[in-house]
Structure 1
Amino acid sequence: TPHIIAMDNEQAEISVGANVPLQTSGFSVGGAGALAGLAGGANANNQNGGAGLAGLAGLAGLGGGFNVPRQDVGTTIRITPHINDSEEVRLEVEEEISEAAPSTEGTLGVRSLTRRTAKTQMVVRDQQTVVIGGLMRDGVRTEETKIPILGDIPLIGALFRQSGRTTEKTNLLLFLTPYVVRDAGDLRAIYERKMRERQEFLDRYFVFGDSDYRPPKDYSRTRGLVAEIIRELEAVAEERKLLEEAQGSPPLDHAPRAPVGAAPEGAGGDGSGDEGDMVIGPDGEQPIQAPPPDVPTLSEDEVPFPDPEAE
């Protein structure tokens, strides 16, 4: 899609088209003078028997008899933005579409131009899309195909020719989305978003050609109740994500212990405190302290009392 940057209260124009020649019929005054010069040159040649300068002048003046102007045709859009204090943009839009019709027989190559124009003013918000329509065109195209030579034979040539007539109706729609650029950050954000959309389009169209391209939905550029709800949810999710990143996760507990692996030969690996069993702690390598032996303890209900009958 075409893009254009315009300053406030200054007109910007974008034009896409071609510059075509338009031949006009008839001779101008220069052409008549050229013919007179040629006649004078011919008389001079008859009298002097040599090439006269008047003949050369007549040939040079003959070029002035043909007038071949050129005309720009294509699509031209002129936009003048006006930004007010409420961050709204008043747009003066002028659109012009022109095209040259093919030349017809018997007109000496003269071609006609068709032109469609639209001029309007509107007030929109920042990043709000508006649509301008109504530039319709109806056209009839006739095509003829035939077999060479046989199709030009009188009467029976119609059996070897085929003609078709196609009616075309086009309606041109213009979508405009203004972006108010306040600083370099806004311009950078627009550039990055356009590059992401371009890359997604290339991936869909060239890399994954079998699947249909589905452009991403940017709800920040839409209006309505659903768009407002989605924007609020996205803002809450973004705020929650930033809060989690600011708080951070608590550090993991680290308990030093003996390295994992096979114990060297001659060293005990059963944790009994033999020489060779070491633990790595904050103070360096230290021998493992053997745990004290388990001493069974009895509660008051389990303490045995002497049996008087046994005495």
Structure 2
Amino acid sequence: MIRLRWRALTTACVLFLLWSVVWTSHVTAEEDKSEGGPPLVAMEFDDVDIRVFIKFISTLTGKNFVLDNDVKGTINLVSPSRVSPEEAYRVFESVLEVYGFTTIPSGPIVKIVPLRTAKDRGVETLVAPGMPLAGPQDNMVTQIIPLKHANADDLQKVLTPLVSKTSVIAADSKSNTLIVTDVHSNIRRLMEILREIDVSGVENTTSVIELEHASAEDLADKLRLLMEGERKTRPAGKQGEEEVFKVLAVDRINALVVFANKDDTEEIKRLVARLDRPTPSGKDNIHVLYLKNAVAEDIANVLTQFRDQAKTAGAGQATGDRPKAPTISADVVISPDKATNSLVIRSSPQEFKELTRIIEKLDIQRAMVYVEGLVMEVNTDKALRLGVEWHAGNDFDNQSAFWFGGNTAGSAGALGTIFSGLQSSTPVFALPGGLALGVIGRQLTYGGISFPSYSALINAIKSDTDFNILSTPQILTTDNEEAEVRVAQNIPYQTRLDQGTEVTSRAISTFEYKDVGVNLKVTPQINQDRFVRMQIEQEVRSVVRDSTVDSAGNVILAPVTNVRSAKTTVIVKDGETVVLGGLIQDTERGDETRVPCLGSIPVIGWAFKTTSQRREKINLLVFLTPHIIENTEEARAVYQQKEREIKDSLIRQKALQGPGAKLLNDEKPRGALPETPDSSESGNTETPSGTPE
């Protein structure tokens, strides 16, 4: 006996410890004393056993619960705000209702049973004199609803589809009373419907009309408008009688609940029979809409996002505060067809009408922007070279040679320019640039190389450079669309060199080609007052050196390039020019070549050395001019302007060729722009080849 008691005590302790672990790991309940009111609690339960949850509510409210054997499972509850014990108990009843259970008060205890068996367990009975609304709780109750005007048997048929399978609606014809067993929240919804239906009328009846094709909500709105208009045209005698007419839409079963007198009910049934028909051919729910200007894929994406956002916004509202359903429902399907630039839409005729109105505002002809560009490099390059170069030599039986003097007597310097001409297969005597004074002796040959036996040269040269126009890109693009102009060369880069093998002695090179030149990207956006906002990306690449020599003496195609780029956003008025500048490269270099010792002697040393100085400043300027084109007149004006510029350029080019050159009006070069329709000249113009244009 003692052993049995000890075992029972041990089991109870283990269960208590397990309950404590579950409590501390899964339940968070913080109490807070409100000022002068009951304590507030914040509840948060994550996969907690439902019996632990019931124990928590019992401790909080002081209620005694009796649990059915089928009350099992886990629950999840998130309550970020603190609530009072009374509110916590209502939350408790809602949680039980969600998980298929309900409470049945019975004296000092509360029974917790499954919903499916609650109606057989003696639930609480409420009487509703004057039809007050039931409370917001979610426990199972039986509500007695006496009716004043409507027929109980008729309403039983109407309300039965609106309750769950575990609920019961009974009608007592003698007392004209409805008896409903359901959770509090559902009974509240039913009583709201009854409050609209159970009103005074002239022999009013309630009917349920099920629909096959039409939408219950749309048809209910149309019937209300029709019946209200019909009543205004009735004779004065009938119009003075008190008549009540109600049409409610039940979307869940797609049916209409009609509360009206017999004549109105029959009229409504006849109207419904005529309106509840399949959509005629050509007016069905599949529509094809061809676009004129916009891209079908873009319009489809916009409308789909609008539909999804409207659906999310509607779902986020509380049931009582939910706004009117969005014009575009979640059932609408929009598919673009790229081949025909059209939209295939599946929707109701009302929704398609709304979609058509939206698409007409989006499918408009957008303005275009003609962008003129000028990429110019301003190069301030100043170089000065001054010095004396000389050498002397003798030929000793073609075995060896003796040299004396010559600070740059090789491939470099002013003498190198002369030697290069003598060593070529077709020797050409070439003097260096600038002022050159000196003497050159007879030609000697050593090692297959020809050179003068003696030479002396005094050289002085100064050079200045100005500016260089790299590119004049011009492009026409649509508003808010990116345009790109690329003028470049495809330069090979040697990425791999495989030496010869036993099979072949030739080296195999692998190349990668990259673009080197001018690249301009611009995205114009037309604002108010004909201002253009342009996103600009400008890049200029130039080759500094074509190749290099590796350690083995092999020439490798590894070009070295300069990259100058700018990325910015500017706002400029239509027809005005904006300049992007400031990309400056400033280099200064000085070289001196001299004969050791002799070149260091004051004054005399100038005869044995050469000095050069070079200073270079490079500034890259980008000029951009946007022209807005909104109609054909503006497009024609831009065309005529560019035509005049080309003609003027060709005239100046002809004038530079000599006084005997013919002007453009006598003979149009091949490739020139054609005359505009308003040109003063008429007739065909022939190209130099005689082909009429």
Q: Which structure: greater strand fraction?
A: 2
TM-score normalized with structure 1 length: 0.46
Of structures 1 and 2, the one with the larger relative CO (CA 8 A, separation 6+) is 1
